[in-house]
A and B are shown apart, each in its own frame.
Chain A
Amino acid sequence: MDCNTCDVTPAVVINKPEVVQVALTISDKAKEMLDSAFGDDRSHALLVGVLSGGCSGYMYDLQIVESTEQDCQELKIDGFRVLVPNASSHLLDGIEIDYVDRLMGGGFKINNPNASSSCGCGESFA
């Protein structure tokens, strides 16, 4: 394989979508659950990101973090620090973070107006 030219051959253009100033909401039930997860310590933040993969192409990534190396925008919502990576901001603008209380398939859910479809488990969307 001739890869001697790899370093000088132009990379395939990966179109980076425009960074969007994200507006998101958190439902009352989700706030309640976040409240019990964070406790009184609000130094940590809720990271709401997107990974490629999953049944529909993109997967939500929810984490409680102290900090992250990702280039993020920080939102303050009802006392919670929320971090949204700029790389996936175009996929997350307008979302609602909800919490569904049921035995099967329960937990945090994202209602996303940008998603044209999502898989059965609700973790992946297109």
Chain B
Amino acid sequence: MGIFQLDAYVLIIRGKDRLSFIDGLSTNKVDGDCSTVFTTTTAKIIDLVDVIDMGEFIAIVGHMPFKESLIQHISKRVLNQDISIVDISANNSVYLSTEDIEVDGNITKRKTWRGWLLVAPNSEPLEANMSEDDFSEYRIKNMIPHQGYEITSNVHPLACGLGDLVHESKGCYIGQEILVRMRSRGRQGKELVRLANPVEGATTTGASHSLAIVRKKRD
């Protein structure tokens, strides 16, 4: 399909505790490149981020409108750890490509569950050839939730299609008790579905189908 420019922030996290710090605060097992979700103590979403392991540091890429909430959430939990955080959002643009494309060496590319994530210096912008509608159709077809649409601070990860990013056996993290209880009791409340139009209460509306978060039937 093409390339879509995301409204994204990029934070650089340095220090020897960088991976364990993010791992202890988010839903997925973080030991390298991955996508993970930061949640509150009531398991509501703060942000979905992609973690890019650059060797000496990690970059976390999230949704720009959620940046301040995330920074507030993580910065107050830096106690004795060796952690420093730098915001390089102003120097970079973030794209999502639906296909694997050749890119210049200065552009960081990672395959993610949503497609290929590309972080490009502003001096080397990519041509974003997907419109908002194209991106919505791609998301609807592939059941990909997105921040501001399905992924909001009102839902937990299991309700908006992010269940694959909730690790089943990792150690404790904020919100884990609630998510584990929902899973073990088969009571996650709501789920993300793709339905043929017209869809009442759709979170993303497409030409023929839409995404919606609906109450899940009991397992």
Chain A contact residues, CB within 8 Å of chain B: 1-3, 5-6, 9-15, 49-59, 70, 85, 87-88, 117, 119-120, 123-124, 126
- Count of B residues near A, CB < 8 Å? 43
Of B24, B79, B83, the residue contacting A54 (CB under 8 A) is: B24
Known: A9-B87, A52-B24, A57-B77. Contact between A1 and B173, CB under 8 A? no
Q: How many A-B residue pairs have CB under 8 A?
A: 106
CA distance A87 to B82 in the complex (A): 12
**A119 close to B177 (CB less than 8 A):** yes
- B residues 50-93 near A (Cβ < 8 Å) are 52, 54, 57, 59, 71, 75-81, 83-88, 91-92
Q: Check A57/B41 contact, CB under 8 A, given A11-B86, A15-B75.
A: yes
User: Once the chains are docked, how many angstroms separate the CA of A2 from the CA of B77?
Assistant: 27
What CA separation (Å) do A69 and B41 show in the bound complex? Answer: 31
B176 x A2 contact (CB < 8 A): no
Q: List residues of chain A with CB within 8 A of the CB of B91.
A: 2, 5, 9
Taking a contact as CB atoms under 8 Å apart, the answer to whether A124 and B88 are in contact is no
Q: Which residues of B contact A55 (CB under 8 A)?
A: 41, 172-177
In the complex, what residues of A have CB within 8 A of residue B120's CB? Answer: 1
A6 lies within 8 A of B79 (CB): no
11 contacts between A and B (CB under 8 A): A1-B107, A2-B91, A2-B92, A3-B59, A11-B85, A49-B80, A52-B25, A52-B81, A53-B171, A56-B41, A87-B80
Complex CA gap A126/B85 in Å reads: 23
- Does B154 make an interface contact (CB < 8 A)? no
Residues A119 and B172 in contact, CB atoms below 8 Å apart: yes
Are A15 and B123 in contact, with the CB atoms below 8 A? Answer: no
| Residues on the B chain within 8 Å of A15, using CB | 75-76
With A12-B71, A52-B81, A56-B174 in contact, is A5–B88 under 8 Å at CB? yes
8 smallest beta-carbon distances between A and B, as pairs: A53-B24, A2-B121, A52-B77, A12-B85, A1-B108, A2-B91, A1-B119, A14-B75
Q: Is B106 an interface residue (CB 8 A)?
A: yes
A2 touches B88 (CB 8 A): yes
Q: Which residues of A contact B54 (CB under 8 A)?
A: 1, 3
Min CB–CB distance B129 → chain A (angstroms): 21
Cβ-defined contact, B86 with A52, below 8 A: no
Most buried by B among A14, A85, A88, A119: A14
Which residues of chain A are near B173, meaning CB under 8 Å?
Answer: 53-55
Is A9 touching B172 in the complex (CB atoms < 8 A)?
Answer: no
| Residues of A contacting B199 in the complex (Cβ-Cβ under 8 angstroms) | none
| Cβ-defined contact, A124 with B77, below 8 A | no
Q: How far is the CA of A3 from the CA of B57 in the complex (A)?
A: 10
Is B86 in contact with A1, judged by CB distance below 8 angstroms? no
Partner among A9, A13, A49, A70 whose Cβ is within 8 Å of the Cβ of B75:
A13
Q: With both chains docked as a complex, state the minimum distance between the C-beta of A113 and any C-beta of chain B, in angstroms.
A: 18
Question: Chain A residues with Cβ under 8 A from B177's Cβ?
Answer: 55, 119-120
Are B92 and A1 neighbours in the complex by a CB distance under 8 Å? yes
Residues of chain A lying within 8 A (CB to CB) of residue B107: 1
Closest to B79 in A: A87
B84 near A11 with CB under 8 A, answer yes
CA–CA, A50 to B11, complex, Å?
Answer: 25
